[in-house]
Structure 1
Amino acid sequence: MEIDVFNEVQDPRPWAAGHEQARFQQALTQARLADEAGYGCWWQVEHHGAEEFSLSSAPELVLAAISQITSRIRLGHSAVLAPHRFNHPIRVAERAATLDHLSGGRVELGLTRSTVPEWRLFGIDQAEVRAQTAAAFSMIPRMWTEERFSHDADGSGIPDIRDVRIQPKPLQDPHPPLWQAASSPASFEEAGRRGVGVLGTTMWESLERAERLIGLYRAAVAACADPVGAFVNNQVGFFTFVHCAETDAQARRNGAAAAAAWYSTRALSFFEAATDFRLAMERHQALIDAPDGGGLAGSFLRAEQGDAPTEGALLIGRLLGGEEVQDEEVFEVLSAQNSLIVGSQETCREKLRAYADLGVDRLLCLHQMGGIDDEAVLTSIRLVGELIPEFAG
């Protein structure tokens, strides 16, 4: 299992003068340390209008800066918001290829649909986002590998493109690995059928459900005979909150419980989770009822029908209902379902091993979360880095 870093450039209040500059400088320092410590890839998120939840609205610039102060760590965009009102496929292809040259061929590129608040911010019709994302997955690898590119107007809303050389071409041959960020059984299946790697999260998923999602993806990617890119990238990545300290008690004193609770409440608020949950349930029911069975995702969802809600799901419901829940309770629920990795090196080693045993290829460690002090974040990166050789290969 490769151990990576996942970064949001989070900037929780209270804000002091120069807080944004400080956060970006901290991210660069963390990236240097991750490069030296042997992490496999630095993954940078893209969000807009996220306030303290994320300053990473121009991740391609952050990754370009990191490319110039590191030498070996790979650079992952996790993930480009793919509907073309966010990022036209031509611009995505150009920027990623340019970064590939600047970094000496270290780019990994993910795509995703985004969610309700960002669609609204950019005036995107949510009925069109799936077609636009599919178009981006189809177009970008062709732009990289075809000498001249053409595209016939389709349901994605992108007009005809005729005989254009999209440049530069990537340094990596034939092109950087492709990924899809996924949060539902349907999107795990989509990633597999496209022949791209899948990037999920365990922040609100138990290890047991993560294992089933991995099985769903593995079945879909095994059946992929016509990948969107020039090759199949059959890797599974999951991100989770990771905080390692000298002892379990020190990890708690560093504010791990408060950070996990802060992240949970801010994420549910920013992503307008109540609306997103309703839309997801409508899609799930459509797959369950589909006359053709709804594919692998439909079978997955039907198998879950009748299951009692997990303690984590019940807690999400309470948070969405506006209930104030103590930080320690949020942390304990997440810990009980192994949704995060917090503690001493020995504790973190044991929890990392559980992910490796599931068949996770890339574990993306979110070290910089909430109000955890920067020195504690650097210590966590270093201590987890010392464990990397145990999981290599």
Structure 2
Amino acid sequence: MKIDIFNEIQNPRPWGPDQEQLRFRQALAQAELADELGYGCWWQVEHHGAEEFSLSSAPEMVLAAISQRTSRIRLGHSAVLAPSRFNHPIRVAERAATLDHLSGGRVELGLTRSTVPEWRLFNIDKDDVRPQTAAAFDMIPKMWTSDRFSHDGDGFTIDDVPILPKPYQTPHPPLWQAAASPASFEEAGRRGVGVLGTTMWESLERAERMIGLYRAAAEACTEPAGAFVNNQVGFFTFVHCAETDEQAMRNGAAAAAAWYSTRALTFFEAATDFRLAMERNEKLLAAPDGGGATGDFLRAEAGDAPTPAAMLIGRILGGEDVPEDELFDILSAQNSLIVGSPDTCRKKLRAYADLGIDRLLCLHQMGNLGDEEVTTSIRLTGELISEFDTD
């Protein structure tokens, strides 16, 4: 299992002078340290209008800067918002190929649909999101591997255009899809692209079932979106490693987890997203084929009682101010978080590796954790990498 880093450039209040400049400098320094320690990949997210939650509205610029300060660590776009009002497929292909050259062939490219608030911000019709994302997965690798590119459909008319530069990697950088639902995990597998999920609110047991859903689809894929099947699973979760379990808590791990949970659920308008997901699931289950493997997955868990984490999310969405310690305890009980001493973190990392995860994306810089504490966490976790990454 590769140990990677996932980064939002979070910027919680209170804000001091030159706060944004400070956050960018910290991110670059953390990337340099991760490169020295042997982390596999630095994954930079894309969000817009996120205020405290994320300063990463131009991740391609951040990754370009990191490419000039590092030599080994791979550079992951996790993920480009794929509907064309966010990023036209030509621009995605051009930027990623340019970054691949600047980095000497270290790019990993993810695509995703995004969610309700960002669709609204960019005036995107929710019914256009899925077909445009599918079109991006179809078009971008062809732009990279064709001398000239044409496409007519899905709202695009492109006639015999050379899309340059071509990527440095041959035939092209690995492709990934960010996913949060069983349907999206299966969809990524059918496309033959890697899948990027989160365990922040998922139990390891459910994550294992979703991995199985993805693997079956990826192994059956004979016509991948790109030139090859990238059969890899990545999950991100909060990781905070300190000298002792007690020090990790004194550093503010519980407060950081609570801050992230409430801000994420609010920013992504999770209640609306949940309703839309339920509508999609109902259509799947009513389909003539019963929804395929995802339908079977949903029916198998239909009678399960809500997990404590699911009930916790409901309380937060209902406006309840859940105590930090209670939130942390509920998420920790299902092994959603990796927090504690190096020995504690080692055991929790092993649980993820035993699921067959290929890449664990560690979210170190979160909430109000201090930069020194974040740097220490990156370093202590980095000292464990050789136990999991045998390359």
Shorter chain as denominator, the TM-score bin is: over 0.9
Q: Work out the CA distance in 2 between the residues paired with 1:239 and 1:392.
A: 16
1:84 counterpart letter in structure 2: S
TM-score (norm 2): 0.99
Residue in 2 that maps onto 1:116: 116
State the secondary structure of the residue aligned to 2:309: helix
Once the two structures are TM-superposed, the CA of residue 296 in structure 1 deviates from its matched residue by: 1.1
CA offsets, 1:143-178, max 9 Å, x none? 0000110001x2x322x1111100000000000000
2:229 is the counterpart of 1:232: yes
Alignment of 1:310-321 (within 5 A): 310-321=307-318
2:41 is the counterpart of 1:18: no
Residue in 2 that maps onto 1:72: 72
Residue in 1 that maps onto 2:256: 259
Q: Work out the CA distance in 2 between the residues paired with 1:382 and 1:51.
A: 28
- Match for residue 370 of structure 1 among 346, 367, 371: 367
Once the two structures are TM-superposed, the CA of residue 206 in structure 1 deviates from its matched residue by: 0.3
Residue in 2 that maps onto 1:329: 326
Q: Work out the CA distance in 1 between the residues paired with 2:206 and 2:336.
A: 11
- Match for residue 183 of structure 1 among 177, 180, 185: 180
1:63 counterpart letter in structure 2: L
State the secondary structure of the residue aligned to 1:109: strand
Alignment of 1:3-82 (within 5 A): 3-82=3-82
CA offsets, 1:345-366, max 9 Å, x none? 0000000000000000000000
Once the two structures are TM-superposed, the CA of residue 265 in structure 1 deviates from its matched residue by: 0.1
Once the two structures are TM-superposed, the CA of residue 289 in structure 1 deviates from its matched residue by: 2.0
Residue in 2 that maps onto 1:345: 342
TM-score (norm 1): 0.99
State the secondary structure of the residue aligned to 1:77: strand
Q: Work out the CA distance in 1 between the residues paired with 2:281 and 2:206.
A: 16
1:143 counterpart letter in structure 2: M
Instruction: Tell me the number of residue pairs that the alignment of Structure 1 and Structure 2 aligns.
Output: 390
State the secondary structure of the residue aligned to 2:349: helix
Residue in 2 that maps onto 1:157: 155
Once the two structures are TM-superposed, the CA of residue 293 in structure 1 deviates from its matched residue by: 1.2
* Comparing 276-285 and 176-185, the one that deviates more: 276-285
2:125 is the counterpart of 1:128: no
Q: Work out the CA distance in 1 between the residues paired with 2:310 and 2:108.
A: 32
CA offsets, 1:223-244, max 9 Å, x none? 1000010000000000000000
Q: Work out the CA distance in 1 between the residues paired with 2:270 and 2:17.
A: 32
Residue in 2 that maps onto 1:86: 86
State the secondary structure of the residue aligned to 1:286: helix
CA offsets, 1:294-331, max 9 Å, x none? 12111110111110000000010110000111000110
1:370 counterpart letter in structure 2: G
Q: Work out the CA distance in 2 between the residues paired with 1:122 and 1:27.
A: 27
Residue in 2 that maps onto 1:277: 274
2:103 is the counterpart of 1:103: yes
Residue in 2 that maps onto 1:295: 292
Once the two structures are TM-superposed, the CA of residue 212 in structure 1 deviates from its matched residue by: 0.2
1:322 counterpart letter in structure 2: G
Q: Work out the CA distance in 2 between the residues paired with 1:295 and 1:180.
A: 20
**Identical pairs, percent:** 80
| Runs (5+) with no aligned partner, structure 1 | none
2:303 is the counterpart of 1:306: yes
- Match for residue 174 of structure 1 among 171, 176, 180: 171
Residue in 1 that maps onto 2:220: 223
CA offsets, 1:364-391, max 9 Å, x none? 0000000000000000000000000000
2:331 counterpart letter in structure 1: L
Once the two structures are TM-superposed, the CA of residue 291 in structure 1 deviates from its matched residue by: 1.6
Q: Work out the CA distance in 2 between the residues paired with 1:274 and 1:236.
A: 27
Q: Work out the CA distance in 2 between the residues paired with 1:173 and 1:11.
A: 37
Q: CA RMSD in A?
A: 0.5
Runs of 4+ that moved beyond 2 A: none
Once the two structures are TM-superposed, the CA of residue 392 in structure 1 deviates from its matched residue by: 1.4
CA offsets, 1:30-63, max 9 Å, x none? 0000000000000000000000000000000000
Q: Work out the CA distance in 2 between the residues paired with 1:337 and 1:175.
A: 38
2:142 is the counterpart of 1:142: yes
Once the two structures are TM-superposed, the CA of residue 88 in structure 1 deviates from its matched residue by: 0.2
2:78 counterpart letter in structure 1: S
Q: Work out the CA distance in 1 between the residues paired with 2:160 and 2:280.
A: 38
Q: Work out the CA distance in 2 between the residues paired with 1:338 and 1:52.
A: 26
Once the two structures are TM-superposed, the CA of residue 81 in structure 1 deviates from its matched residue by: 0.1
Q: Work out the CA distance in 2 between the residues paired with 1:265 and 1:281.
A: 21
| Runs (5+) with no aligned partner, structure 2 | none
Q: Work out the CA distance in 1 between the residues paired with 2:330 and 2:195.
A: 26
State the secondary structure of the residue aligned to 1:162: strand
